[in-house]
Chain A
Amino acid sequence: MTSAWPWITLALLGAYHGLSPGMGWLFAVALGLQEKSGKAVLRALLPIAIGHAASVGLAVGLLAAGKASIPTGILPWITGGVLVAFGIFKLVRPRHPRWVGMRVNARDLVVWSFLMATAHGAGLMLLPVFVLGEDNPAPCHGPSCHDAAGISLSSPSGYLAAISLHTLAMLAVSALVALVVYYKVGLAMLRRAWFDLDRVWAGALILAGVLGLLL
């Protein structure tokens, strides 16, 4: 089977991660308000996306190592089990990394974003896509397709393309939300619209794990 669904899923998950205030757009808005500058909002977003990509990359790297050393039939069970267990853990104990600081440079933002994404299992959430979708090459159209069409989700270049796509979607959505909140909506929306994404997130982890096991 060859289809675009794993790539679309990775992009949608990127958009979902971008929506979460805890993944970075809120921090970018706060830094913008601190400096009274919309540019400061934008400046913060790239390091946040890099930290997110690094965390996702770590999870994908672990998966690749697992693929190389664990019999093929067992891996989906391990990733599914880990996801469900982590999701339940996040439901029971919704803790955050302890980070005390508003005066941050780009490197701090990378580290903070990496910690937040890792603690929330952002990369873990993507693993079923890699396990289930490994035979699906990246979709493409046009004359330059001949090279790209060979990218498989199980090759190093496929991993890189997938992480890039996920991160770009995450960056685009977080930038959009951050700028709309900074320029238009204002912070009052935090009180009305900030429903408990951590519990939704934990549910998404469990769902991803179950789907990984069932499909």
Chain B
Amino acid sequence: MPFRPDPTFYPSPRMAMDAPRERFAYVAAPDANAVLGRPNPLRDGLATVDLDPRSPTYSQIIALAEVPNFGDELHHSGWNACSAALCPYAPHPHVERRYLMLPALRSSRIYIFDTKLDPRRPKLVRTIEADEIASRTGYSRPHTLHCGPDGIYVSALGNPAGEGPGGIFMLDCESFDVLGRWEIDRGPQYLHYDFWWHLGHDTLISSEWGTPKMIEDGVVPELLLGKKYGHRLHVWDLRRRKHVQALDIGDEHQMALELRPAHDPTKAWGFMGVVISVADLSASVWLWYREGERWAIKKVITIPAEPASADQLPPLLKGFGAVPPLVTDINLSLDDKYLYVSCWGTGELRQYDVSNPHEPKHVGSVHIGGIARRTPHPRSGGPLTGAPQMVEVSRDGKRIYFTSGLYTTWDEQFYPDGLKGWMVKVDVKEGGGIALDPDFYVDFGPRRAHQVRLEGGDASSDSFCYP
């Protein structure tokens, strides 16, 4: 344990923006064949991508740490400790941002990689088995993980039988003991997806996707058209672990997914991405905000579907004559100024100026991949399958990295002729606007590419107690 605080911990988001430039990305690289029961299955891996432009291996995968099992579906990852360790009410800044925790969405294991021994080659040091999580929490399908001031918080989509409710459980940030369920009173909450918090307001926010059974074999069209997927945002008392308020955005909006609260802990607002409206196939981004003693929510961004001919569309969409944008990820720069929105259907990454969060301005776009467009990258050697999906913003806000894959069974539905695993980068122009870096294209070969984590933290891995 170091004698001084981990140098990658920052009291405030502003200070984190002055951090040194990232040298590596750690990217979850799941294999589809193992999940789909196809020949030539591979083990999932954690890929290290070189992000140092002075390095001879820049923009290449320089290591791939495989996990020992098949069909895990590595999906997201998170650090055991981060800037929240500086919070004043539970200060313990001498822990280290050392272990990258990788929940496996299908097998429910959590793999723990040590990145300190050799940052280029993370080493698997521990596996928390699904049984341990199930017996201590009643949950399974761990999805998203955040290092909090008092431990690691992990979201889970449901119970071991694949039903609800989904929720949050806790891990110790040093021993990795599974500490138990987080919720004391969940109120009406049943479906679960993402969660994050406003540390300055003792408030946790959670969103809704579906139970494991509703999502594991792909989108179920009857459930989608029957408006059965999640469409609420839940507000919780972070201190008392109690449900406070449910904000319903209307059931024509299906799959209320990614949550990006303002990084400044004094601000009480944030954005939620919603995948699809069954009314017109549009996607949307919603703003939640404090209104007196209560919280309110409103739609601030609508992205319409794009017309397309039936022969460009997968069976699921043929009857509609349009490609839905499918907003599957969003990310907010550390200065709370720019919001990045992935349109995984149409193949577009959008940049919005959210200086006034109530009125986002669309200020930049790049196109790549997409169900109908298949826009190539200069280095992809032809049309591309897949589209902007998991998006990560560098600490200084100048570089955006994103990958192509969503979730194996969903990838197959929307890209039935196969989905290429790739990662690209865009550069942010001063004052707004984005441009694809023509030289940065990482080919994941037979594997897919999901969430990106940057060495030393990024715009979605830390939270702060000081403005």
Contact = CB atoms under 8 A, between A and B. Distances in A.
Whether chains A and B associate is: yes
Interface of A: 21-22, 26-27, 29-30, 33-34, 36, 94, 96-104, 112, 187-188, 190-192, 194-196, 198-199
Given A27-B88, A98-B150, A190 B11 contact: yes
A100 B149 contact: yes
A33 B264 CA distance: 11
B5 A101 contact: no
21 contacts: A21-B91, A22-B91, A27-B88, A27-B89, A33-B466, A34-B265, A97-B90, A98-B150, A99-B89, A99-B90, A100-B148, A100-B202, A102-B88, A102-B201, A102-B202, A102-B465, A103-B202, A103-B239, A112-B89, A187-B15, A188-B11
A103 B203 CA distance: 10
B11 A96 contact: no
Nearest to B179: A98
Nearest to B7: A191
Contacts of B92: 94, 96, 198
B467 interface: yes
B7 A102 contact: no
Interface of B: 1-5, 7, 9-12, 15, 86-94, 148-151, 199-202, 238-239, 265-266, 465-467
Given A30-B465, A101-B239, A191-B11, A196 B200 contact: no
Q: Which residue, of A96, A102, A195, has the highest number of chain B Cβ atoms within 10 A?
A: A102
Given A30-B88, A191-B10, A198-B94, 9 more contacts: A27-B89, A96-B92, A97-B90, A100-B90, A100-B149, A102-B465, A191-B4, A191-B7, A196-B3
A96 B86 CA distance: 13
A94 B266 CA distance: 30
B238 A101 contact: yes
B130 to A, nearest CB: 26
A194 B92 CA distance: 10
Given A34-B467, A101-B238, A102-B200, A194 B89 contact: no
A102 B94 contact: no
A34 B89 contact: no
Majority secondary structure of chain B interface residues (helix, strand, loop or mixed): loop
A91 B266 CA distance: 35
Nearest to B89: A99
Contacts of A194: 4-5, 93
Contacts of B1: 196
Q: Which residue, of B88, B150, B151, has the highest number of chain A Cβ atoms within 10 A?
A: B88
Contact of B466 (A112, A187, A198, A199): A187
B88 A199 contact: no
A99 B239 CA distance: 8
Contact of B90 (A29, A96, A104, A190): A96
A188 B86 CA distance: 11
A128 B200 CA distance: 40
B201 A196 contact: no
Nearest to A194: B5
Contact of B238 (A21, A22, A97, A100): A100
A199 B467 contact: no
B307 to A, nearest CB: 49
Contact of B91 (A36, A96, A98, A104): A96
B90 A98 contact: yes
Contacts of A102: 87-89, 199-202, 265, 465
Contacts of B202: 100-103
Contacts of A104: 89
Nearest to A27: B88
Contacts of A26: 88, 91
